[in-house]
A and B are shown apart, each in its own frame.
Chain A
């Protein structure tokens, strides 16, 4: 049981390049999330998907797009990378969409460390 798997673990891009961060979960969770973590800023929500077929913007969506490919997979795309997008990106999933019975407890992947030069 792998939980939440993110690929790649590390990536270096040049300004203007594009890339897709992949995330998959094997816990049959309905909801999935993408965060970025910067020093001193904590975790900030980029996009989330409450259920298969839906996506919504979080706190910092500019410069990113997402795709909920199926119930297991949620990808994050940078169309034209900028140095300001240098960060550690985390994917997470949770069982459900209501804050009852621990359904919104989040399970995190190990992260993708992205540098944009």
Chain B
């Protein structure tokens, strides 16, 4: 069963806009990761945030983590058509090192 659940399921924006997607989870975690999946391809790791971190940046990506609310958000700034993909959060914790993936957010960026 999924630990993380992404919201929204689908997001459609124009190039240049910011895209925000959220992930909620149910039990305590060690880490939360975000992955991207382009159509017909495997998942690619984007960023990992530890449970004792609140915010992390990587290029145009900004991830926040609120452990009190058991939620995380992924912000992609100045979106490009190439950012069109599905985005998944994955959490590990409760004694398991294997990340559990959510169902993903499908992002479409229109040029």
Main SS of chain A's interface residues? loop
* Bound CA span A47–B44, Å: 20
- The size bracket of the interface on B is 20 to 34
Among A20-76, those with CB < 8 Å from B are: 33, 35, 40-43, 45, 48, 58-59
Q: Is the CB of B97 within 8 A of A109?
A: no
Q: Is the CB of B98 within 8 A of A108?
A: no
Q: Chain A's nearest CB lies how many Å from the CB of B81?
A: 22
* Bound CA span A114–B101, Å: 21
A59 partner residues in chain B, CB cutoff 8 A:
1
Q: Output the residue of B2, B31, B99, B102 with the most chain A CB within 10 A.
A: B99
Query: Which 7 pairs of residues, A with B, have the shortest CB-CB distance?
Result: A108-B42, A42-B103, A43-B101, A99-B30, A108-B43, A99-B97, A99-B92
Interface residues of A (CB under 8 A from B): 4, 33, 35, 40-43, 45, 48, 58-59, 90, 92, 97-100, 102, 104-111
